[in-house]
Amino acid sequence: MSWFYNLKNDSSIVSVPLSQINRFHDLFGEKYAKDSLRRFPDHFGYSNNSSNIKKVNLELDSHFYIVLLTIDELLYQEVPSYIKVGRYYKSDFTKLRNDTSVNKIYDSMNIEIFSSI
């Protein structure tokens, strides 16, 4: 993640479904570093017929990144209390990965990072 913080423009929005990625700064010894974090609405804002995350989240009119941790996705698919809440379904993550308004710039075992086009 440290490469990501070095790469990203400080004015860019960083969006996450759930995780507190701002805690990564503490791990890297950057206690006072801040991100412009935004939380997504349920289902990333996608409706049944939408496929462009930038259009359905109008506040994302500038450059943005989406940081998706495996735990964020699995919580809503595996943990009964999160499944019951229903903020995200497996199909929402599929839509995100197929969205033509973002490019995946990083993929590892436990983290994916997308950048707006």
Residue 83, sorted as left (phi over 0), alpha (psi -120 to 50) or beta, turns out to be alpha
Strand, helix or coil for residue 85: helix
Give the predicted TM-score (pTM) of the model: 0.76
Per the structure, the complete domain to which residue 59 belongs is given by 2-116
Mean pLDDT by 10 residues, the chain (117 residues): 64 64 54 63 81 72 82 88 89 93 91 88
Q: How many domains does the chain have?
A: 1
For residue 75, give both structure tokens.
């919580």
Cβ contact 102:117 at 8 Å? yes
The DSSP output letter for 10 is T
d(CA 81, CA 78): 9
